Amino acid sequence: MKIAVIGTGYVGLVSGTCFASWGHDVVCADKNTQKITSLEYGVVPIYEPGLDELVERNFAAGRLRFTCDLGEAVKGASVVFIAVGTPPRAGHGDADLSFVYMAARELAPLIDENTTVVVKSTVPVGTGDIVQKIIASVREAGTFSVASNPEFLREGVAIRDFLEPDRVVVGVEDERARKVLTELYGVPLEACNTPIVVTQRRTSELIKYAANAFLATKITFINELADLCEQVGSDVGQLALGMGLDKRIGASFLNAGPGYGGSCFPKDTMALLRTAQDHGVTLRIVEETVTANEARKRRMALKVMDALGGDVEDLTIAVLGLTFKPDTDDMREAPSVPLIETLQRFGARVRAYDPAGIENAGKVLSDVELHRDPYECARGADAVVVVTEWDDIRNLDLARLMKIMRQRILVDLRNAFDPGVAEQVGFRVSAIGRATATRHDPHIPTAPPFAAAYVSPAQRAGAVHFETIGGSIDNG
């Protein structure tokens, strides 16, 4: 099957490459000539583990091509995916759909008869209806279809998410679109037993926003409970474990931290709120989630200041991890940005390290000394603050780190380290959702310095090995 993908951003490039890996003839189109040229030379413009190799392999096999010529891309294509950006409109909160509508206008006179146009970009309810009208203005009704197929790709594991998804959602209004999309996904995903959820187009559009809003709420919920844990002498890791083993709740997205970020959750929650407002519906839980998350990001700076005695004037703080999550170079809505900006306003000198996000961080941060080595970043610092739980950061030699610092203060906003181990080395540790010895009530015990663990049925039968639950937050 020939497939055209309009847009070679994160969603378009990953999707097009994965379709090619299934054996389809895929052409990815983009107006950015520099990006297309780079891709033809094997230079992938985004950081995503495994994507470079997959692009190179499918390009070499002739299954994946890149072009700036939209006509070349859509000619003979059975399916055309619109995968352009839908950024939030400045000052409004709703999604900017100009790129989606522009793509629809430009492809309308170029597509063949019986082509199915699929909106893969994250769009508000009713966008597919407008795309249908745009194409119908130049094409005869019934000679094409418009469908919805939202993506659920998590940065850092996007290829796995595409090739082994929890589910595929397609929204259709006619049999042609239903048949072509269930055929496209059905055969390659048959071995995974992946369910294909076929809905009306508007329902499909809403599913993506609803899913992301729910996950954002789950993250915010555990973050607020982490605050309570700190005050009452509890441990949020053990609390999350006890909750997450309930199959009705699940363990995912119960890792307390400095707040969610990235390209999906902040944008999609705001767009969902705007859609609800436009239809006279109040989504109070989503509203509170957005408010609480924004407040939390900046409140993390106060946690750092508290660890340093309340004053950071002229102190040097080393921030480890800048991207909104590990295994991506994405700085969009990253919690590190408001944290650093707040510390700077209180007079701190900030250094920062990230394994992949230094270049993008330099575009959004000012007066920050950026490092490509975590130990050089921490040298002479008064405190180290862990913001993103990269494996490179989790595996740091704490004894070495402590020896090169001016003050031995570790503020672990991701609970990346065992506090007992860090304290034994010599650090004073401030973590998320764990009480410290200096908390308000001296009768409240400090949380024990061990990882939350559970005993499996086999272990209850006599084994002595413990399994730990951990991992990074998936922010969409």
- The average pLDDT across 78-87 equals 96
The whole-number pLDDT of residue 470 equals 36
Query: Cα–Cα distance between 452 and 237 in angstroms, integer?
Result: 6
**DSSP conformation class of 367:** S
Structure-block tokens of residue 94 = 């709703």
Count of CB atoms within 10 A of residue 315's CB? 22
- The average pLDDT across 138-155 equals 95
Q: Where is pLDDT greater, at 361 or 263?
A: 361
* 310 torsion bin: left (phi>0), alpha (psi -120 to 50), beta (else): left
Query: Cα–Cα distance between 218 and 255 in angstroms, integer?
Result: 10
Q: Give the lowest-confidence range in 56-65, 81-90, 112-121.
A: 81-90
Task: Categorize the per-residue pLDDT at 275 as very low, low, confident or very high, splitting at 50, 70 and 90.
Answer: very high
If you classify domain 211-453 with CATH, what class do you get? alpha beta
- The average pLDDT across 79-91 equals 91
What residue spans of 156-264 are helical by DSSP H? 158-163, 175-186, 201-232, 236-244
Q: Where is pLDDT greater, at 187 or 384?
A: 384
The whole-number pLDDT of residue 435 equals 77
Active site residue 264: yes
CA nearest neighbour of 438 among 428, 423, 451, 426 = 428
Site of tokens 């050089």: 376
Task: Categorize the per-residue pLDDT at 467 as very low, low, confident or very high, splitting at 50, 70 and 90.
Answer: very low
Task: Categorize the per-residue pLDDT at 191 as very low, low, confident or very high, splitting at 50, 70 and 90.
Answer: confident
Task: Categorize the per-residue pLDDT at 90 as very low, low, confident or very high, splitting at 50, 70 and 90.
Answer: confident
Q: Which one is the CATH code of 2-193: 2.60.40.4070, 1.10.3720.10, 3.40.50.720, 3.30.450.40?
A: 3.40.50.720
Q: Residue 454: pLDDT above 90?
A: no
Q: Where is pLDDT greater, at 462 or 344?
A: 344
Q: Is the dihedral of CA 45, 47, 53, 55 positive or negative?
A: negative
**DSSP conformation class of 142:** T
The whole-number pLDDT of residue 89 equals 84
- The average pLDDT across 186-196 equals 92
- The average pLDDT across 221-229 equals 97
Strands 467-468 and 453-454: antiparallel
The whole-number pLDDT of residue 332 equals 93
The whole-number pLDDT of residue 18 equals 98
- The average pLDDT across 359-385 equals 97
Q: Residue 449: pLDDT above 50?
A: no
Q: Residue 447: pLDDT above 70?
A: no
Residue type, 103: A
Query: Cα–Cα distance between 146 and 15 in angstroms, integer?
Result: 18
Q: Do 211-453 and 2-193 have the same topology in CATH?
A: yes
Q: Give the lowest-confidence range in 323-327, 381-385, 435-439.
A: 435-439
Q: Where is pLDDT greater, at 473 or 168?
A: 168
Task: Categorize the per-residue pLDDT at 456 as very low, low, confident or very high, splitting at 50, 70 and 90.
Answer: low
Q: Residue 464: pLDDT above 90?
A: no
Q: Residue 174: pLDDT above 70?
A: yes
Domain ranges of the chain: 2-193, 211-453
Beta strands in 53-113, from DSSP E residues, in sequence order:
64-67, 79-82
The whole-number pLDDT of residue 453 equals 52
Mean pLDDT of the chain: 91
The whole-number pLDDT of residue 436 equals 62
The whole-number pLDDT of residue 93 equals 73
- The average pLDDT across 5-29 equals 97
Q: Residue 444: pLDDT above 70?
A: no
pLDDT tens for residues 23-43? 999 999 999 999 999 999 999
CA nearest neighbour of 81 among 210, 177, 159 = 177
Q: Residue 451: pLDDT above 70?
A: no
Task: Categorize the per-residue pLDDT at 463 as very low, low, confident or very high, splitting at 50, 70 and 90.
Answer: very low
- The average pLDDT across 224-239 equals 96
Q: Residue 452: pLDDT above 70?
A: no
Query: Cα–Cα distance between 184 and 96 in angstroms, integer?
Result: 29
Task: Categorize the per-residue pLDDT at 304 as very low, low, confident or very high, splitting at 50, 70 and 90.
Answer: very high
- The average pLDDT across 64-71 equals 97
Task: Categorize the per-residue pLDDT at 94 as very low, low, confident or very high, splitting at 50, 70 and 90.
Answer: confident
CA nearest neighbour of 352 among 382, 326, 373, 327 = 373
Catalytic residue among 18, 28, 229, 264: 264
